[in-house]
Chains A and B, each alone.
Chain A
Amino acid sequence: MSVLPAASHAPAITVKNLVKTFGAFYALRHVSLQIAPGECVAIFGPNGAGKTTFLRILAAISRPSSGEILIDGQPLREAALAHHRRLGVIGHQSFLYDDLTAAENLWFYAKLYDVTPLAPRVDEVLAEVGLRQRAHDRVRTFSRGMQQRLAIARAMLHRPSLLFLDEPYTGLDQHAASMLTGWLQKLRSERRTILLITHDLEQGFALADRLVIFLRGQVAWEKSTRELDHAALRQAYFDLVAGAAPNQRSRP
């Protein structure tokens, strides 16, 4: 089963003038961004810059206050189920049930995603993340790194064509981190669209085609990785963050 979309000239993601407010607080202010099919975009920014809010809205689990989002040219709200069918998300939390085994967790999600054939696919992803030997152990007995590996398995179970990764390296041991990097590089070579949120400038620079810095709910800086080197990215990031005032209230 593959959930790669049919060939299309429309951008994979188009965001126009996106605003998200929580009361008087502007979490996102008129954000506009386009991501081409097969492109990997890394988003950086200090805590509270609006990165995770942006990702949650693009994942259709949070409603924007205003603005337009198109996924493959279709309005997100109208195509939310189809969007979820081909979206894989790795977030701060594992989305795993502690009292189910690794295999049971994957079976459960595989049924929700209509993965067929189910058993061989579950076995395959467990092997890919090196957890086949622990398939029948409860998740609560897993270390943080193992849980994150299983979360990666869960996210790749339905072979998503669109990946949203929010700080995916948090809490990973060396083995899991290199496994994740390998998996992301494989996905990039398959031209899957990736949106990566990270604080790790080096990691983001190494993986992405395009780099974006969020600041106070806005796209403050945007460049292709071909236009600069890692040192220039660091310089730009620290210049922007150091110059940013903390006040985010009330003003659109």
Chain B
Amino acid sequence: MSHWRKLVALIWKDLLAEFRTKEMLSSMLLFALIVVVVFNFTFAPGSRAITEAGPGILWVAFIFAGVLGLYRSLVHEVERGCLQGLVLAPVEYGLIFLGKAAGNAIFIFLIELPTFLFFAVFFNIDFWQGLDKLAVIFFLGTIGFAAVGTLLSAISVNTRTREIMLPILLFPIEVPVILAAVNATASALAGKGWGEISGWLKILAGFDLIFLLVCFVTFEYVLEE
């Protein structure tokens, strides 16, 4: 019970601080929308290429905006030694990881919804039929992305070139998640059923589980010198 209360406190702290300033959310959302707009201009309206590239564009927007959020969430912790304050508290390192990862995932979910609606309008995509599938895909894709992203941002935040280090470390590891998410999104937008996307969903769920476990266990070694 105490663990649960501490986890809630860790998430509550991140949400409260962010909703008060909205610095991170607004920059993440603006960036994601700009990505969608820029890609929209590169394709002829109503072309077949839009349908084919759409899911990839959507996930590029999510991932790039997500990196922005991951980077800033750990920088805020380091600025006044708050990360050290967390490490000095009687809280397991795994719990600190779960709290930070959950907070990051919530922020990414929050930008995914308006970005997707914007994307659907701009690319003229009828998504209602596959909405339930998309919700599951976004959920699983975001969990995997936020889990590894939180661990790697904790590693990169103490390096001199931290702005560039995070995407360099993150993107290669995230390839399976991004591939599965893009393919599953394409199938869902094409109106395919659960049976046809279940393979991708299993890959996403499998990687989520592996990433969550590995990051949970290794976070201790990242935080300690």
**Interface set of A (CB-CB < 8 Å, partner B):** 56, 59, 61-63, 81-82, 84-85, 87, 89, 91-100, 104, 108-109, 111-114, 138, 154
Contact = CB atoms under 8 A, between A and B. Distances in A.
B87 interface: yes
Interface of B: 2, 5-6, 9-10, 12-13, 16-18, 20-21, 76, 79-82, 84-92, 223-225
Contact of B225 (A56, A81, A91, A104): A56
A93 B81 contact: yes
Contacts of A111: 5-6, 9
B225 to A, nearest CB: 4
Given A104-B16, A112-B6, A81 B90 contact: yes
A61 B88 CA distance: 7
A96 B82 contact: yes
A239 to B, nearest CB: 33
Contacts of B80: 93-98
B81 A91 contact: yes
B82 A97 contact: yes
Contacts of A81: 90, 92
Contact of B16 (A82, A96, A100): A100
B224 A61 contact: yes
Q: Is the interface of B mostly helix, strand, loop or mixed?
A: helix
Contacts of A85: 90
A112 B16 CA distance: 16
Given A61-B225, A63-B224, A100-B16, A112 B90 contact: yes
Contacts of A94: 80-81
14 contacts: A61-B224, A63-B225, A84-B88, A85-B90, A91-B81, A92-B81, A97-B17, A99-B16, A99-B20, A99-B21, A104-B13, A111-B9, A112-B6, A113-B90
Contacts of B16: 99-100, 104
Contacts of A99: 16-18, 20-21
A118 to B, nearest CB: 10
Nearest to A108: B13
A35 to B, nearest CB: 18
Contacts of B79: 98
A144 to B, nearest CB: 12
B17 to A, nearest CB: 4
A89 B6 CA distance: 20
B95 to A, nearest CB: 9
A97 B83 CA distance: 10
A234 B218 CA distance: 46
Contacts of A82: 90
A224 B48 CA distance: 83
A111 B5 CA distance: 7
Nearest to A80: B90
Nearest to B12: A108
A104 B76 CA distance: 16
Contacts of A96: 80, 82, 85
A114 to B, nearest CB: 6
Given A61-B87, A61-B224, A100 B81 contact: no
A108 B18 CA distance: 15
A112 B12 CA distance: 12
A173 B62 CA distance: 47
Contacts of A104: 13, 16
A87 B91 CA distance: 13
Given A95-B84, A95-B85, A96-B85, 10 more contacts: A61-B87, A61-B225, A63-B224, A81-B90, A97-B82, A99-B20, A100-B20, A108-B12, A108-B13, A138-B20
Question: Which 4 residue pairs spanning A and B have beta carbons closest together?
Answer: A93-B81, A95-B85, A111-B9, A62-B225
